Amino acid sequence: MAVSEATEGPLAPLLQIRDLHVSVQGTEILHGVDLTVPAGELHALMGPNGSGKSTLAKTLLAAPGYLVTEGQILYKGEDITSWPTDTRGKAGIFLAFQYPEEIAGVPLVQFLRQALSARRGTELSVLELRLAIMEWMRKLGMDPSFGDRYLNEGFSGGEKKRNEVLQMAVLEPDLAVLDETDSGLDIDALRAVAAGVKQVQAERSKLAVLLITHYQRILQHLDPDVVHLLVGGRVVQSGGPELAAQLEKEGYEPWRH
């Protein structure tokens, strides 16, 4: 795992994406993405349908079928472009899914115990993990009975998304990629999810968050440090929260080519 000379050392950004080209089933979706997310910051990635937002999220976790044909993904100064999914997860990269899957027969507490044990490289007892989960469920306003329910089985859309935030809290990643966490949520569920993200950030000041979204509405409850606009497989502009407000007013048409 070679360290890039250009970014090695303590000042290296947590995440740096350089000229990233990604193909899916032989079709190039990302055409040279450049993006940097320092530790401790929340960055929003916005863009229309088909712009490549979810492709980027899945590529960051090395999902099967997403082929990097050019460019680099650097994490803490190291080139992780060829790292498999489990290695990235153990290194502290977390992905909250747009459509969290239901896993019958696997209680949430058992799922988190196995994931956190792998992350830390040491076996945790069920009691240790349960205490951590119960504490975070209290902070996130979740029903403690969720810990014994099968993962996402029978959960509402809002419950599934809050469960993703719970996983982010318990697994203690350094980089959290939230892929359209706000999709399909009503106003109350949206506020609850945003409050959960803020709670986790407040307790882990070095956590970097890349929030992928279509809409400004979740950004009214969070305070992004930077907003990036992804159109046609490229980041075409970056700015502050005012860029999200401009998008809400004008739509994506001014940036289409």
Q: Give domain status of residue 110, yes or no.
A: no
Q: Give domain status of residue 131, yes or no.
A: no
pTM, two decimals, is: 0.86
Pairing of strands 93-96, 175-179: parallel
The domain of 183 spans 15-98+173-255
Taking 50 as the threshold, does the pLDDT of residue 5 lie above it?
no
Give CA–CA dist 98/117, Å, rounded: 25
Tokens found for residue 74: 């650097």
Average pLDDT of span 232-251: 91
Which three-class secondary structure string do you get for the chain? Answer: CCECCCCCCCCCCCEEEEEEEEEECCEEEEEEEEEEECCCCEEEEECCCCCCHHHHHHHHCCCCCEEEEEEEEEECCEECCCCCHHHHHHCCEEEECCCCCCEEEEEHHHHHHHHHHHHHCCCCCHHHHHHHHHHHHHHHCCCHHHHHCEECCCCCHHHHHHHHHHHHHHHCCCEEEEECCCCCCCHHHHHHHHHHHHHHHHHCCCCEEEEEECCCHHHHCCCCCEEEEEECCEEEEEECHHHHHHHHHHCCHHHCC
Q: Which of 11-20, 124-133, 146-155, 205-214 has the lowest mean pLDDT?
A: 146-155
**CA-angle at 11, arms to 10 and 12, nearest 5°:** 95
Q: Which of 35, 60, 38 is nearest to 179 (CA)?
A: 60
Chain segment 63-120, per-residue pLDDT in tens: 999 999 999 999 999 999 999 999 999 899 998 876 656 567 777 788 888 788 777 7
Tell me the HSE value of 174 on the side-chain side, using a 13 A CA sphere. Answer: 15
Q: Give domain status of residue 62, yes or no.
A: yes
Q: Structural domain tally of the chain?
A: 1
Q: What pLDDT does 188 receive?
A: 83
Can you say whether the dihedral through the CA atoms of 174, 72, 97, 244 is positive or negative?
positive
Cβ proximity of 167 and 94 under 8 Å: yes
Q: Which residues contact 63 (CB under 8 A, 6 or more apart)?
A: 85
We report the CATH number of the domain holding residue 250 as 3.40.50.300
Q: What is the pLDDT confidence band of residue 19, given thresholds at 50, 70 and 90?
A: very high
Give CA–CA dist 167/225, Å, rounded: 23
